[in-house]
C-alpha cells in the first residue's frame, strides 16, 4: 500500500472501532454492568480488536513463514494491513480513554498506547519492521481471555449464583477463562515479549538508534505493566480460589 492508502486504512479502522463502540451502546447491557456502561463498551470493543488482530497475526505467519527470517524488511499486504488496522484501534482507544476516564486512572494505559501508536505508526509509514510488529500482535491472543475475564466480572458472572455472600465460588465460565488467561499470558505474552527483547538486543547493530530506543522503551514499559498485571491476576484468581477451597474443606 502507498502512504495515502495506509493513512485511509488507519483512519477507517479508528472510525470502525468508534462505530462498533456506538453499536454496543444500543445493545442490551447486563444489569450489573449498567453502572459501568462505558467500561463495558470499552472492553467489548477491545475484545473485538484482540480477536481480529490475534487471529490475523497467526494467519500472517502461517501464510508468510518466511517473514520470521526477516522481521525488518519483509512486507506483505496482509502484515501491512494488519498493523494499520491495529494502529487505528489504538488511536480510537486512546481518545476513548482520554475523553471518558480520569487521567489518574488511565495514565499508564495512555502512555502505553502512545508508545504503541508511535512504533506502529513508524512501521506502517516506513513499511519496515512489519514482521516485528506482527510478532507483538501475538500478545492479543492472551488479551482475548483477559477481556473476557473483565466482561464476566462486569456482568456479575464471576461467582456461582448464591455463593457471593457466604463463600464465593468462581463460576465454571470464570474458572475456565481465568486458567486460559494465565496459560496464554505465559505463552503468548511473557514468552513473546521476552523473545522480542532478545531479538532487539541481538539485532541492535542493524537498527537505527532512534528506532532501537523506541522499541526498548516500549518493551520496558509493557513488560513492567505485565508483571504487575500478572501478579494481580494470579493473586485474585489462583491464590484466592485456592485459599477459599482450603477453607471450605
Tell me the mean pLDDT in the region 46-51.
98
Question: What confidence score (pLDDT) does residue 249 get?
Answer: 47
Q: How confident is the model at residue 164 (pLDDT cuts 50, 70, 90)?
A: low
Q: What is the pTM of this model?
A: 0.91
Residue in 188, 211, 185, 190 with CA at minimum distance from that of residue 200: 211
Query: Rounded to a whole number, what is the largest CA-CA distance in the chain?
Result: 64
Residue 162 pLDDT greater than 80, yes or no: no
Question: What confidence score (pLDDT) does residue 135 get?
Answer: 95
Residue 16 pLDDT greater than 60, yes or no: yes
Least confident of 29-43, 123-137, 162-176, 182-196: 162-176
Q: How confident is the model at residue 206 (pLDDT cuts 50, 70, 90)?
A: confident
Amino acid at each position: 500500500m502507498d502512504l495515502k492508502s495506509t493513512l485511509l486504512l488507519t483512519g477507517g479502522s479508528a472510525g470502525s472501532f468508534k462505530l462498533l463502540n456506538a453499536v454496543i451502546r444500543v445493545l442490551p447491557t447486563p444489569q450489573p454492568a449498567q453502572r459501568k456502561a462505558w467500561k463495558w463498551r470499552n472492553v467489548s470493543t477491545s475484545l473485538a480488536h484482540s480477536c481480529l488482530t490475534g487471529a490475523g497475526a497467526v494467519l500472517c505467519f502461517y501464510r508468510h513463514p518466511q517473514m520470521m527470517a526477516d522481521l525488518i524488511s519483509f512486507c506483505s499486504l496482509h502484515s501491512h494491513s494488519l498493523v494499520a488496522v491495529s494502529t487505528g484501534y489504538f488511536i480510537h482507544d486512546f481518545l476513548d480513554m482520554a475523553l471518558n476516564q480520569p487521567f489518574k486512572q488511565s495514565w499508564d494505559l495512555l502512555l502505553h498506547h502512545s508508545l504503541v501508536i508511535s512504533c506502529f505508526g513508524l512501521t506502517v509509514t516506513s513499511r519496515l519492521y512489519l514482521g516485528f510488529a506482527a510478532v507483538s500482535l501475538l500478545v492479543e491472543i492472551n488479551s482475548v481471555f483477559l477481556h473476557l475475564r473483565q466482561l464476566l466480572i462486569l456482568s456479575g458472572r464471576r461467582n456461582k449464583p448464591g455463593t457471593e455472600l457466604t463463600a464465593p465460588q468462581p463460576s465454571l465460565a470464570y474458572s475456565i477463562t481465568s486458567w486460559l488467561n494465565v496459560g496464554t499470558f505465559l505463552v503468548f505474552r511473557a514468552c513473546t515479549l521476552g523473545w522480542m527483547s532478545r531479538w532487539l538486543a541481538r539485532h541492535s547493530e542493524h537498527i537505527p538508534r532512534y528506532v532501537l530506543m523506541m522499541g526498548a522503551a516500549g518493551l520496558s514499559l509493557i513488560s513492567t505493566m505485565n508483571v504487575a498485571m500478572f501478579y494481580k491476576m494470579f493473586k485474585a484468581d489462583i491464590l484466592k480460589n485456592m485459599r477459599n477451597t482450603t477453607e471450605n474443606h
